[in-house]
Structure 1
Amino acid sequence: MTVEAAEAPIPQLPCARVQLLPEVYWAERFDLPVTHAFVAETDPDGVAPAQSQANREREEVMLWEKLVRRLEGDWAPTGRYPEESYLEDLRTRDALAERLVAAPPALRDPFAGAADALDEVFRAHTEDDGGELLGRVTRSGAAVRERGWWWQRRPRRVPWPSGY
């Protein structure tokens, strides 16, 4: 067995790269009240097919809520979060915005309500910087300004090692 990377230095493995490992953060568990309320309203019996619109929307709400809960908890328990994972969460919010526009009437109100509730928490734990941070992180400069408003905001405390 070979250990190529670890989240912290391991004296017995001096050659192992030290880096944030996304797999560690994927496994974290959160209380997701907005997601649970969305599911209770859109699929209370849990019978929606896996590929249904309701399940795709539930997944986007859940992923967005996980980021929001991380922000709300100041990146607990480690105080860290991988830069690429953060960008992927913002891309999830992009997909959520697209799906909101196309949502069927029966799902539109609960879906929009869930997005609005999570967006409010996201705004409360981020600061508008006009996309400066994410323009640097993505190396796209001002191009992030053409994306959703969530790309214009930065975490109050940047949780990845480069910190920029």
Structure 2
Amino acid sequence: MDRYLEQYLYKVPQRRCGLGDRDVLFWWSDLWRRGLVARRTRRGSETEALAASLTPEERQEFAVLDLQRLVLEKEGMAPEYAARVEEPAYGVLSSLRLWENLIYDMEQEWPGQDFYLVYEYLLDLTVRDGLEEYCEALHGKPRAKFRRALGRLDERYRAVTYEDGGAELGQYWRPLSEGTETRWWWTRRPNDLPPNW
């Protein structure tokens, strides 16, 4: 692996992904991810509108959740890298942005994608899981604002997917095939599958 790139990679703890005895190891380049997110955030996005609507007190509530997430993320990083990371990759607004970016790509029929592995899609769905957890952790007006933004994105997601009871994704994600994963976003299939699914 390129030494320059290696310094920006960190290892997220292994997660069982329903692949029999195999574990999928997610490697992410923080530099690449943040660059990608920055390029794909559009003016007028739900995430941008939510961020602009937050009062300083509401921002503080989001910051507390981000700090808690940062602690969890640093546990899976090499100590020398963890010392340099100041923001969580999967904080409240960054997770909402990732969900919005997935939906946008689906609406545009996967523009500029030569391939998009099913496991990338599964990871995006775990981001949606995290958004639900954030919704439960927020209170009062911040929760209402977050829920409204997430609801608008979820409606867009429903428009580019259809309910198949998890048949498509159940081939790749054991909890679906076993019937233990029933959240609605997991049981929907994209209308148009991305290249090289």
Tell me if TM exceeds 0.5. Answer: yes
Q: What do residues 98-141 of structure 1 show as CA deviations (whole Å, max 9, x unaligned)?
A: 22122121311110011101001100001111000111022445
Asked whether the equivalents of residues 98 and 124 of structure 2 are also in contact (C-alpha less than 8 Å), the reply is yes
Give the alignment's TM-score, normalised by structure 1.
Answer: 0.72
Which residue does the alignment assign to 1:41?
Answer: 53
1:133-148 pair list within 5 angstroms: 133-143=168-178, 146-148=181-183
CA contact (8 A) 1:127 1:154 kept: yes
Query: Higher strand proportion, which one?
Result: 2
Show CA shifts across 1:51-108 (max 9, x none). 4337832122111111111111111022532222111110010111122122121311
Within 5 Å, give how 1:7-18 maps onto structure 2.
none
Deviates more, 1:77-86 or 1:115-124: 77-86
Work out whether residues 134 and 144 of structure 1, in 8 Å CA contact, stay in contact via their aligned partners in 2.
Answer: no
Give the corresponding residue for 1:159.
194
1:13-162 to 2 correspondences below 5 Å: 26=33, 27=36, 29-30=39-40, 31=42, 33-42=45-54, 48=60, 51-53=63-65, 56-78=91-113, 80-143=115-178, 146-161=181-196
Q: Which consecutive unaligned segments of at least 5 residues does structure 2 have?
A: 3-27, 68-90
Q: Count matched residues.
A: 143
Aligned-pair identity (%): 32
1:41 counterpart letter in structure 2: S
**TM-score (ref. length: structure 2):** 0.61
Structure 1 position 48, deviation (Å): 4.9
Q: Which runs of 5+ in 1 are unaligned?
A: 3-21
